[in-house]
Amino acid sequence: MARKALKLASWTSMALAASGIYFYSNKYLDPNDFGAVRVGRAVATTAVISYDYLTSLKSVPYGSEEYLQLRSKIHDLFQSFDDTPLGTASLAQVHKAVLHDGRTVAVKVQHPKVRAQSSKDILLMEVLVLAVKQLFPEFEFMWLVDEAKKNLPLELDFLNEGRNAEKVSQMLKHFDFLKVPRIHWDLSTERVLLMEFVDGGQVNDRDYMERNKIDVNEISRHLGKMYSEMIFVNGFVHCDPHPGNVLVRKHPGTGKAEIVLLDHGLYQVLTEEFRVNYCHLWQSLIWTDMKRVKEYSQRLGAGDLYPLFACMLTARSWDSVNRGISQAPVTATEDLEIRNNAANYLPQISHLLNHVPRQMLLILKTNDLLRGIEAALGTRASASSFLNMSRCCIRALAEHKKKNTCSFFRRTQISFSEAFNLWQINLHELILRVKGLKLADRVLALICWLFPAPL
């Protein structure tokens, strides 16, 4: 029952997180993690593709003859296998192991009975949501159940996760700062996934980055570029970027900073229509075109609640949206205002989430998790990050227009317009850098004047 309640709380947090209220935690209390179970829930059989690594250790007494027989089967597949998991979440846990050929791998093992319990969990969630609806008619959370029914079976299929990992790796191969662990297909099943072992610190760990001389601002920029490319250009979005799934490290060979993207079970595939409207909306928000903000918010189902929708997307107040979200960073006063207003507008937020396209729900969750990382690193979205988003929007919209015309002249015209718009953004970014350097020079001059060096 505790796990079911945790699952419901986790899904409910999607609605509240979109409004700036953070209920996310990557720590799960799992009663089954204690005792002999921590030695390893999943044990492998020796059949090559049909291993579905045995998950019966939880019912076998620790140290018994049956337990030792099961443990011995692990060594048929691995040279060594760490009993203590590297990490544990609600659906699976990950162990470090070494294959007989010397390769170090990560073994992701689905918890026993999770698949069988999933339908009961969803039924319980549906009952609770209906009960909430009876008690508080203004809250509409049935979309939580619909999303769980759609996404949970995909997350439970680890072969689907492997395919997602390979797809995003190929899709973003031009980013030399991104590392997606390679999948070992010959040793993977629907319930067990073997992948290349890649070590690193969590993306919200400033101390780790400082110890390893990794530039926090560079990591934040890379993360923004990566997700802008996924959302605006490709429409294939990793929707669980919590700190445990996004690691940072220095590449062993080059010494350059890398982002390691893990856990590819939950992706959102955006339709062409949604992606194009979403690009237009963000372009309008970045360049403060309020007429188009209203138009494209309403195209995405916001209706008359488009001001609230714009605030949820940007995590900024309506005043800041009107002034321009790229003009000034979030202040502590504005942050407090957003949190206070979020509680006051929960019925409207609930109504809005029930009417926007289902694709938007995971995008809102993803945006919120990314902002949580930025907040932990102290790198809230800057003018530079908005310009990177705008570049992706320009490229995506130009590609969409070229795809929908047969005229060579029109395609050429679109390409020239795209190049000119990108050049304008580059020029604007250069001006911002020059202004920043001038400001830095002035600050340095002031310091030298206030504290002159001794003769």
How sure is the predictor about 55, in pLDDT bands with cuts at 50, 70 and 90? very low
User: Tokens standing for 297?
Assistant: 């918010």
Q: Is 160 helix (H, G, I), strand (E, B) or coil?
A: helix
Name the residue among 18, 355, 283 with its Cα closest to residue 291: 283
Higher pLDDT, 43 or 330: 330
pLDDT at 1 over 50: no
User: Tokens standing for 191?
Assistant: 């319930």
pLDDT at 23 over 70: no
The answer to whether the beta carbons of residues 247 and 260 sit under 8 Å apart is: yes
Q: What is the pLDDT of residue 246?
A: 94
Is the residue at 400 inside a domain? yes
Q: What is the pLDDT of residue 445?
A: 56
pLDDT in tens, 200-215: 999 999 999 999 999 9
User: Tokens standing for 106?
Assistant: 């990560």
3-state helix vs strand vs coil in the chain, percent to 5: 60, 10, 30
How sure is the predictor about 70, in pLDDT bands with cuts at 50, 70 and 90? low
Q: What is the pLDDT of residue 26?
A: 37
* Count of CA atoms in the C-beta half-sphere (13 A) of 418: 18
> Looking at the annotation, which residues are catalytic?
240
Is the residue at 379 inside a domain? yes
Q: Average of pLDDT values for 98-106?
A: 93
CA 262 – CA 9 distance, rounded (Å):
23
Q: Average of pLDDT values for 100-107?
A: 92
- Give me the residues paired with residue 194 across strands: 107
pLDDT in tens, 279-293: 999 999 988 999 999
pLDDT at 180 over 60: yes
How sure is the predictor about 68, in pLDDT bands with cuts at 50, 70 and 90? low
pLDDT at 303 over 80: yes
The answer to whether the beta carbons of residues 203 and 243 sit under 8 Å apart is: yes
How sure is the predictor about 81, in pLDDT bands with cuts at 50, 70 and 90? confident
pLDDT at 172 over 90: yes
CA 270 – CA 231 distance, rounded (Å):
8
pLDDT at 101 over 70: yes
> How do 246-250 and 267-269 pair as beta strands?
unpaired
Its pTM stands at: 0.78
Is the residue at 397 inside a domain? yes
pLDDT at 30 over 80: no
Tokens 């000119």 sit on residue: 420
**Between 306-314 and 290-299, two packed helices, what is the crossing angle to 10 degrees?**
100
- Give me the residues paired with residue 371 across strands: none
Is the residue at 13 inside a domain? no
Q: What is the pLDDT of residue 49?
A: 25
CA 109 – CA 93 distance, rounded (Å):
6
Is the residue at 252 inside a domain? no
DSSP structural state of residue 259: E
Phi and psi at 336, nearest 5°, equal: -65, -40
Label residue 148 exposed, middle or buried (CB < 10 Å: 0-12, 13-18, 19+).
buried
pLDDT in tens, 340-379: 777 788 888 888 988 899 899 889 988 888 888 888 888 7
Is the residue at 165 inside a domain? no
The answer to whether the beta carbons of residues 77 and 48 sit under 8 Å apart is: no
Centroid of chain to Cα 406: 37
CA 56 – CA 70 distance, rounded (Å):
9
Q: Average of pLDDT values for 188-209?
A: 92
Q: Average of pLDDT values for 100-129?
A: 85
pLDDT in tens, 305-341: 999 999 999 888 899 899 888 777 777 788 888 887 7
Q: What is the pLDDT of residue 441?
A: 53
Is the residue at 9 inside a domain? no
Range of the structural domain that residue 364 is part of:
272-439
CA 191 – CA 48 distance, rounded (Å):
14
Is the residue at 44 inside a domain? no
Q: Average of pLDDT values for 101-112?
A: 90
- DSSP-H helix ranges across 315-382: 318-323, 332-344, 346-355, 358-377
User: Tokens standing for 430?
Assistant: 């250069």
pLDDT at 150 over 80: yes
The answer to whether the beta carbons of residues 228 and 388 sit under 8 Å apart is: yes
Number of domains in the chain: 1
pLDDT at 134 over 90: no
DSSP track, 39-107: G-S-B--S-SS----B--GGGS-TTSHHHHHHHHHHHHHEEEE-SS-SEE-SSEEEEEEEETTS-EEEE
Question: Average pLDDT over the chain, rounded to whole?
Answer: 79
Name the residue among 375, 276, 351, 282 with its Cα closest to residue 321: 282
Name the residue among 365, 378, 361 with its Cα closest to residue 24: 365
* E strand map for 103-164: 104-110
